[in-house]
Structure 1
Amino acid sequence: MTEFFKQPLEAKKVYSMEPGNLEGYGQHFVVSENQKLDWADMFYIMLRPSDSRNLRFWPSNPPSFRDSIEMYSFEAAKLVSCLLRFVAMDMGVEPESLLQRFGGQPQSMRMTYYPPCKQAEKAVGLSPHTDATGLTLLLQANGVQGLQIRKDGKWVAINALDGAFIVNVGDILEILSNGRYKSIEHRAVVHPTMERMSAAVFHQPCKDATVGPLPELVKRDGEALYGLIGYMDFIARFFAAKLDGRDHLESLKS
């Protein structure tokens, strides 16, 4: 990832996003020529299932990129499967009841480079949002901190442990858990003199899945906090909301 972002702009633009496609190099949430863009350089690719990959966006330079990402994807999927089993046990449901919503383990990855910004207080690296996923594994690739979460109405800095993942609960897990696990609103800030890099691996439900609270939890709770929605419809609403914190998720409540 570091070697990819160090390349000249023209070399990176070979992998630029195409209209209507999130994969590739560039900004994800561009909806107007007049908007303020996040202070970040992004590169997004599909990882799993393997037939969802568009290898046009998988760089051959640096030479180690494809093999490294392949191994990383495999190990991340194993870890998330383990975490979801623990989550199911914590909620008192059969692990397979939760895991089947993630059949085939759909997975994507966003690598982000945040350049230094002399007026850091006037820029946002990544606008406030929640993740439209089940779980996100976030790796801070260098020692520069920048992640913040919203807690009790205030932004709180998260200091990543060296060599450890930050695990974010996403919207889908909040819905499946009937609100037991909360999707965390977060943002990235930038540093005035130092660059920052991170890699987020997103774990989603199946494309054709209908997302709603697990029936056994609804039975136990006596009500469903969220209505049913097709995952692709959910994604369309998520991107239409243009990173609006938790508002789009709150709109799905029954």
Structure 2
Amino acid sequence: MASRVNVQEIVRCNPLQVPEKFLISRREEDEPKSTADAFDLSSRIPIIDLSLLSRGHKEELNKLDQACKEWGFFQVVNHGVATEVLQGMKDATVKFFELPLEEKNNIRFPPANGRNLEFWPDSPNGFKEIIEEYSSEVKRVGEELIESLSTIMGMEKDTLLGLHKELFQTLRVNYIPPCCRPEKVLGIRPHSDVTTITVLMQEDSVIGLQIRKDGQWVPVKPIPSAFVVNVGDVIEIWSNGKYKSVEHRAVPNESKARLSYASFIFPHFDDEIEPIDHLVESSRMYKKVKYGDYLVKAMTEDFIGKEHTGMAKIGSSADVAVLLTHLL
């Protein structure tokens, strides 16, 4: 869990200096700033009641459809995850980040190694069990949401789950320390998620997540005990662009650290992703891609924002290169 460059330690040693490598680029500096309109838009981010959604409530399904078409983001309430489970995850994670750097470094391992129980920390006490319980509950929420997405896409509720050879889940905890120059730094740069969906738990008292909407960066105000959910690239491809994954970023706070808990839900590396036939109304926007290849390229090449989704689009530069090869 400890980051490769331990920003927590950098801030602890010198809270009034920001290393140059963390400063935003000129392009990012030119991005529009949050305005009064952006804060007004923030209050209109859809709120979905999962207890109604899971019972097939027509009005709530319509709200989900509109949220996915117009926002790509929504907040989920009445999801059935106990407050004790949510708070337990938050409390244990705070204790983890309070551990001495040497202790965190002892359990650091490359992400490519995946889940290896040998590296689980002994402290805080019960951390593994807390994460297991939290992750299990979030995966249930994710499965229920994917079933509802399948329904609003005009299919049986288990169709989208069936398109996954296996439904994978990865949990990432993001720690963004307080920053003396918050306007000059990004905690997480703009991107869309290379997932089916992402389920995020925010801190209740710190605003940091922003989504791109109508050319502005709109803050996502935390709702206590709610999850923030966003459509991933996989849903965008399956829906032939009807539902779009949306760029988002995280900004630091001047006085408070911010932790967020992102659960990425995605297909097997060998799954092939392409538009579902009945959702192609006029023209097919995306080609068939192998999910593992798409994921690796998106994560390793130097893309900005949503540029990586071009790999899956018909008429992309990759298609042109293939065509030229055949002609030559």
TM-score (norm 1): 0.82
Residue 41 of structure 1: aligned partner: none
Q: Which blocks of at least 5 consecutive residues in structure 2 are unaligned? A: 1-92, 315-328
What is the aligned residue count? Answer: 222
**Aligned match for 1:217, one of 274, 279, 303:** 279
Equivalent residue letter for 1:156: V
Q: Deviations over 1:30-81 (max 9, x none)?
A: xxxxxxxxxxxxxxxx5xxxxxx32234322112211111111111111111
Aligned partner of 1:130 among 171, 188, 192: 192
Q: Which residue of 1 aligns with 2:28?
A: none
Match of residue 49 from structure 1? none
The two structures, once aligned, show a CA RMSD in angstroms of 1.6
1:150–1:156 Cα contact (<8 Å) kept: yes
Structure-to-structure mapping, 1:61-72, within 5 angstroms = 61-72=123-134
Answer yes or no: is the 8 Å Cα contact 1:127–1:243 preserved in 2: no
Which consecutive segments of 4 or more residues in structure 1 shift more than 4 A?
none
Distance 1:116 1:85 in 2: 38
Identity across the alignment (%): 39
Aligned residues of 1:101 and 1:206 also touching (Cα < 8 A): no
Q: 1:197 aligns with which of 239, 243, 259?
A: 259
Whole-Å separation in 2 of the counterparts to 1:75 and 1:216 = 32
Q: Is the 8 A contact 2:294 2:311 kept in 1?
A: no
Aligned to 2:106: 14
- Paired AA for residue 92 in structure 1: G
The separation in 1 between residues aligned to 2:304 and 2:268, in whole angstroms, is 24
Aligned partners of 1:191, 1:22: CA distance in 2, in Å? Answer: 31
Q: Which residue of 2 aligns with 1:169?
A: 231
The one-letter code sitting in structure 1 at the alignment partner of 2:139 is A
Which stretch shows the higher mean deviation, 79-88 or 59-68?
59-68
Structure with greater strand percent: 1
> Does the 8 Å contact 1:88/1:94 carry over to 2?
yes
Instruction: Give the alignment of 1:110-129 within 5 angstroms.
Output: 110-129=172-191
For residue 80 of structure 1, the aligned residue among 114, 137, 142 is 142
Look at both structures and tell me which one has the larger radius of gyration over its CA atoms.
2
| Aligned mates of 1:96, 1:2 — CA distance in 2 | 37
- 1:156 CA drift (Å): 1.0
**What's the secondary structure of 1:127's corresponding residue?**
strand
Matched, 1:96 2:155: no
Relative to structure 1, the CA distance from residue 112 to residue 243 in structure 2 (aligned partners, 3 Å threshold; closer, same or farther) is farther
Larger mean Cα displacement after TM superposition, 183-192 or 87-96? 87-96
AA of the residue aligned to 1:71 = E
8 Å contact from structure 2 (residues 209, 220) kept in 1: yes
Paired residue for 2:308, among 233, 248, 253? 248
Calculate the TM-score normalised by the size of structure 2: 0.64
Does the CA-based 8 Å contact 1:115-1:194 persist in structure 2?
Answer: yes
**Structure 1 stretch 69-78 or stretch 9-18: which is displaced more?**
9-18
In structure 2, the residue matched to 1:184 is 246
- Indicate the SS of the match to 1:239: helix
The code of the aligned residue for 2:104 comes to K
CA–CA distance in structure 2, aligned partners of residues 202 and 57 of structure 1: 21
* Separation in structure 2 between the aligned mates of residue 173 and residue 180 of structure 1, nearest angstrom: 9
Which amino acid in the other structure matches residue 3 of structure 1?
A: K
Q: Deviations over 1:90-118 (max 9, x none)?
A: 11122232111234320001101111001
Question: Structure 2 counterpart of 1:6, which letter?
Answer: E
Using the TM superposition, name which of 233-242 and 194-203 deviates more: 233-242
Q: Which runs of 5+ in 1 are unaligned?
A: 24-45, 47-52
Cα distance between partner residues in 2 of 1:16 and 1:242: 25
> 1:169·1:183 contact (CA, 8 Å) conserved in 2?
yes
Does the CA-based 8 Å contact 1:93-1:216 persist in structure 2? no
Q: Is the 8 A contact 1:149 1:184 kept in 2?
A: yes
